[in-house]
Amino acid sequence: MRTTWLFPNKYKRIGWILLIPATVIGIVLIAADFQGFSINARVPALFNSEILSNTSFFSVIKTDITNTLVGILFIIGAVLVGFSREKSEDEFIASLRYSSLMWAVVLNYALLIFFFVFVWGSSFLYVMIYNMFTILIIFIVRFNYLLYRNSQKPADEK
C-alpha cells in the first residue's frame, strides 16, 4: 500500500496536542449544554437562516464561534493523529490502518442506521452532529488498539 497520502510522523504529536484539549473542551461544552463560555466574532456567512429571522446569502454575521473552533481543532487533530506515518511504517502497519479504517466506516454507518430507526425529532440533529466525528474516533481507537495489541506479541507471532 502506498503511503504517499500519509503525513510525516512528526505531525502525530501536533495532532495529539490539538486533539486532547479539543476533546476535553468539547466534552465540557456538551456537559454544559453548549452554554459554558463563548467567543463571539463577526464571520462571513455564505448562507444564514435563523428562527424568526430573515434568510441572508453572502453576508457577515456576529455569532458564537466556540463550537466551530473546537470542532475544527478536533478534526485537524484527529486527522493528523490518524493519518500520520508510524515510525516504522510497513505493509503490516498499512494493513492494520486499512482494516481499522474499513472497520470504522462500517461500524459508524451501522450506528447511524440504528439511530435513524430509534432517535426522532430534534435529538436526531445531535446524532448527526456527533456523527461527523465518530468515524475519526473509531478509527483512531481501533488502529491504536491494534498497534498496542500487536506490540505485545512476540516478533515471531506477528
Give the separation between CA 63 and CA 72, rounded to whole angstroms.
16
Give the separation between CA 116 and CA 8, rounded to whole angstroms.
38
Summarised one tens digit per residue, pLDDT across range 11-30 is 999 999 999 999 999 999 88
Q: Which three cell numbers stand for residue 88?
A: 516504522
Summarised one tens digit per residue, pLDDT across range 40-87 is 999 988 888 877 667 778 888 888 899 999 999 999 999 999 999 999
User: Quick check: 140 and 78 in contact, CB under 8 A?
Assistant: yes
